[in-house]
Amino acid sequence: MRNNNPHLLSIGEVAKSLHITRRILLNYEDKGLVHPDVKEGKGGNRYYTTDTVTRIRAIRRLQSLGISLDEIKLYFEDKADLREFIGRLENMRDELDLCIEKLRLRVSENEEDVIEVREIPAQTVYIRRCSTPTVAHRMEIFRQVIPEAMRLYGSDSSKRMFLLAYPLEDTDDTRFCVAVPQGSRGDGVEQWEKERAVSVFFHGDYTDIPRIREKLLDYARQHGLRPKGTCRHIYLEGPAHHSDANKFITQVAIPIE
């Protein structure tokens, strides 16, 4: 029988309005997250107030952010470590920002590459140093360094994960860098502070990057900027995912004073 209280919503009405199933609401009840405000009849018909519906919406929102039902229960009981939640959500935000940036760059792949001064964020990197005279050699070594870093320290997907760095006076003296979790300590790990850099997102074959590097140096000279003496190739996706070299996107960056 339908409850006649106009301030109550049935389980079916709540499920329909929030685009979820009755089974999900019953699962929340089993977990102790939600209780019907009124339960009546032989079938145990369930009805909910506005306050309970608001709680259900909050549960759905937290679930969509990757927080488990057990963690949500602790949150409502004021027993959760909110700092840990915030850290996870900040990492998710950073990953989303990187994904959005990547897609925007894909959309603009036919536009002219624009040189500008950008901030390179701080990050923790695992580094292996090798002499690499050719692009093919670099890619071969990178495919060894990436799993090596991940086995030792894991990875940090909230940052650009793969990059090369080298001194401008010896461009073959390459540092292969993989982003690892902040706070990692050990052999081969360095903490890099954020820096300003003359930078461009270059759409094209890796073999053409030396020309782009010279354009960045010319830009720095023309604008009175002082390079620190190194260059970085920051890969949008890591080892190329496309057969068409024109779809490769590399942020070429020269840190400046």
- Show Cβ contacts of residue 47 under 8 Å, excluding neighbours closer than 6 positions: 3, 5, 8, 9, 10, 11, 36, 37, 38, 39, 40
Query: Quick one: angle between helices 22-30 and 11-18, nearest 10?
Result: 110
Helix (H) or strand (E) holding 53: helix 50-64
Closest by alpha carbon to 253, among 217, 221, 225?
Answer: 217
The pLDDT, as a whole number, for residue 2 is: 61
**Which 3 state secondary structure label does DSSP give 87?**
helix
Map out the domains of the chain as residue ranges.
9-76, 107-255
Are 146 and 111 a contacting pair, CB within 8 Å?
A: no
Burial class (CB in 10 A: 0-12, 13-18, 19+), 71: middle
Give backbone dihedrals phi and psi of 181, rounded to 5 degrees, phi first.
Answer: -60, 140
Q: What is the 3-state secondary structure (H, E, C) of 34-50?
A: CCCCEEECCCCEEEECH
Model confidence pLDDT, tens digit, residues 46-63: 999 999 999 999 999 999
Q: CATH class for domain 107-255? A: alpha beta
The pLDDT, as a whole number, for residue 228 is: 96
The pLDDT, as a whole number, for residue 241 is: 56
Work out the mean pLDDT of the chain and round it to a whole number. Answer: 87
Q: CATH class for domain 9-76? A: mainly alpha
Provide the CA 117 distance to its chain's centre, in angstroms.
Answer: 22
What average pLDDT does this structure show over 2-28?
88
Model confidence pLDDT, tens digit, residues 213-234: 999 999 999 999 999 999 999 9
Instruction: Tell whether the torsion through CA atoms of 65, 69, 71 and 76 is positive or negative.
Output: positive
Q: Is the pLDDT of residue 107 over 70?
A: no
| Predicted TM-score of the model (pTM) | 0.67
Q: Could you give the CA distance from residue 59 to residue 50 in angstroms, rounded to a whole number?
A: 14
The pLDDT, as a whole number, for residue 199 is: 93
Model confidence pLDDT, tens digit, residues 3-12: 678 889 999 9
Give backbone dihedrals phi and psi of 50, rounded to 5 degrees, phi first.
Answer: -60, -40
The pLDDT, as a whole number, for residue 137 is: 86
